Amino acid sequence: MKCRVCQNKINTFMSFGKMPIANAFLNKEDFEKEYFFDLSPAFCEKCFAFQIETQPDPQLMFHDNYAFFSKTSKHMQEHFKKYAEWVEKNFLYEKENTFVVELGSNDGILLENFALKGIKHLGIEPSANVAEVAKKNGVNTLINFFNQDIANKVLKEYGKADAILAANVMCHIPNLNEISKSAKILLKDKGVLIFEDPYLGEMIKKVSYDQIYDEHVYIFSALAVENIFLKDDFELIDLLPQITHGGSMRYVLCKKGMRKKSENVKKILNNERKQNLDKLFTYIKFKDNCEASKKRLLDILNENKQKGKKIVGYAATSKSTTILNYCKIGPDLIEYICDTTQIKHNKYSPGMHIPIKPYEEFNKKYPDIAVLFAWNHKTEIELKEKKFEKKGGKFISHIYL
Q: Measured between alpha carbons, how far is 123 from 91 in angstroms, rounded to an integer?
A: 18
Interaction partner, residue 98 (Zn ion, ligand TMP, none; CB < 5-8 Å by kind)? none
Interaction partner, residue 127 (ligand TMP, Zn ion, none; CB < 5-8 Å by kind)? none
Of 238 and 339, CB closest to ligand TMP: 339
Question: 354 with 345: CB under 8 angstroms?
Answer: no
Of 88 and 210, CB closest to ligand TMP: 210
Q: Measured between alpha carbons, how far is 336 from 330 in angstroms, rounded to an integer?
A: 9
Q: How many residues bind ligand TMP (CB under 6 A)?
A: 16
Residues 6+ apart with CB under 8 A from 307: none
Total number of residues shown for the chain: 401
5 binds Zn ion (CB under 5 A): yes
**Residue of the chain from 12, 54, 72, 177 that contacts ligand TMP (CB under 6 A):** 72
Of 352 and 374, CB closest to ligand TMP: 374
Interaction partner, residue 6 (Zn ion, ligand TMP, none; CB < 5-8 Å by kind)? Zn ion
In 3-state terms, what secondary structure has residue 71? helix
147 binds ligand TMP (CB under 6 A): no
341 binds ligand TMP (CB under 6 A): yes
Residues 6+ apart with CB under 8 A from 12: 1, 40, 41, 42, 53
- Using a 10 angstrom Cβ sphere, with 0-12 exposed, 13-18 middle and 19 or more buried, the burial of residue 188 is middle
In 3-state terms, what secondary structure has residue 252? strand
Interaction partner, residue 3 (Zn ion, ligand TMP, none; CB < 5-8 Å by kind)? Zn ion
44 binds Zn ion (CB under 5 A): yes
Interaction partner, residue 377 (Zn ion, ligand TMP, none; CB < 5-8 Å by kind)? ligand TMP
DSSP state letters, 141-192: EE-S---HHHHHHHHHHH--EEEEEEES-GGG-S-HHHHHHHHHHHEEEEEE
Q: Which stretch binds Zn ion (CB under 5 A): 47-55, 82-90, 323-331, 370-378?
A: 47-55
Interaction partner, residue 397 (Zn ion, ligand TMP, none; CB < 5-8 Å by kind)? none
Contacts with ligand TMP, residue ranges (CB under 6 A): 72-73, 315-318, 339-341, 344, 359, 374, 376-377, 380-381
